[in-house]
Amino acid sequence: MNQKQSKILLIILKNGALSSSAVHSKITEEGDKVSLVTIKRALSGMAASGLLVVSGSGPSITYRVSVNGRLFAPIDAKEYCAVEPDRRFGLSRYNFELFQSVPRDIFDENELKVLNAATAEYEKRTKNTSAVVQKKELERLVIELAWKSSKIEGNTYTLLDTERLILNNKEAEGHDKKEARMILNHKEAFVFIRQNLSLFRDLTRVNIEKLHAVLVKDLSVDLGLRKKPVGVVGSKYQPLDNGYQIEEAVKKLSKVISTLNTPYAKALLALIGISYIQPFEDGNKRTARLMTNALLISHGLAPLSYRSVDENEYREAMLVFYEINSLSPLKRIFISQYEFAAMNYAVK
């Protein structure tokens, strides 16, 4: 997507369906000197490539952003989230067209080169590692994953606190016992995944419910798909609140993930999709992060610890997907975290 197309896409996202003359007017207001003919040509090209949907005929033709356009919209997450939730231009409701429109390839050729190069490095680093090294690397990964995934959820344990808890079962003083339980549940979930790899080649309702049950054990969270509405702090997005629709959304996500061309795509869509549907009363994003690892590990790829991710950047990227449905910010995080994992861990 070139710069001109990106500008047009953002203008239509912000304003809804527009005619070519309205798009031209908005672009010139922003200081760009471009002819109406050029804008019409660009709009036609974007419609032909699937970024826009055309409605009407003749002088009444308008253009709106397609699901494909939303998925790959180049959104600046920090800039978007700097605006108060109710003043943002994103969606406030679940997009029923979203998952069925996801293409089989959500990473472009250059992105796949980066991911495959990281995997090659990971395979080289993990080849012929001893059992002792494997054990130490596994402990380190689990500690760092449990710490950062819990921290994203507001857990106040430090990395050293987490290490003492996981290795020595020593809780940190002055902390709620639920924080320790959350961290230990991450450890148990990772062990559960490694012991049941054949269960996680794709996402299913059965495996996400089993994984969720491990992650919320002893945290007073109801199991199974939720029957009550939930909200998202700091977002105008309101997840589905109908039990039947939640069940159907999970089925649709599962079906789409099974059709994707690469394990990387399966993992990223699970990370985003579970968080978007919010199928459980609580623990949705934890389940999404661990399911991402389950899909990666079951395909022989590097698991993510999220150790180097900035929590605010992660939350902002997720909000952009909730409200715009753009993969772009979280895709960048996924690629950088996969590169980090491949270069820093030797866990098979």
Q: What is the pLDDT of residues 258-317, one digit of tens each?
A: 999 999 999 999 999 999 999 999 999 999 999 999 999 999 999 999 999 999 999 999
Is 162 in the same domain as 292?
A: yes
Tokens matching residue 25 = 């007017």
Is 227 in the same domain as 329?
A: yes
Q: Which of 47, 65, 83 is the last residue of a domain?
A: 65
Looking at the domain assignment, is residue 79 inside a domain?
A: no
Tokens matching residue 209 = 């419910």
Taking the model in full, what pTM does it have? 0.94
Mean pLDDT of the chain, nearest integer: 95
Is 59 in the same domain as 118?
A: no
Tens digit of pLDDT for each residue in 170-188? Answer: 999 999 999 999 999 999 9
The CATH number linked to 333 is: 1.10.3290.10
Q: Which of 20, 41, 65 is the last residue of a domain?
A: 65
Looking at the domain assignment, is residue 148 inside a domain?
A: yes
Handedness of CA 50, 56, 61, 65 (dihedral sign): negative
Is 132 in the same domain as 23?
A: no
Tens digit of pLDDT for each residue in 31-81? Answer: 888 899 999 999 999 999 999 999 988 778 999 999 999 999 999 999 999
The CATH number linked to 47 is: 1.10.10.10
pLDDT at 127: 87
pLDDT at 32: 83
**Rounded mean pLDDT, 230-242:** 93
Is 166 in the same domain as 42?
A: no
Looking at the domain assignment, is residue 126 inside a domain?
A: yes
Q: Find the helix or strand (DSSP H, E) in which 63 lies.
A: strand 62-65
pLDDT at 131: 84
**Rounded mean pLDDT, 310-327:** 96
Is 58 in the same domain as 134?
A: no
Is 137 in the same domain as 199?
A: yes
Is 239 in the same domain as 156?
A: yes
Looking at the domain assignment, is residue 289 inside a domain?
A: yes
Residue 239's closest CA among 96, 78, 79, 143?
96
Range of the domain at 54: 3-65
Tens digit of pLDDT for each residue in 97-141? Answer: 999 899 999 999 999 999 999 999 999 988 888 888 888 999 999
Handedness of CA 26, 28, 31, 35 (dihedral sign): positive
Residue 343 has pLDDT above 80, yes or no: yes
Residue 348 has pLDDT above 80, yes or no: no
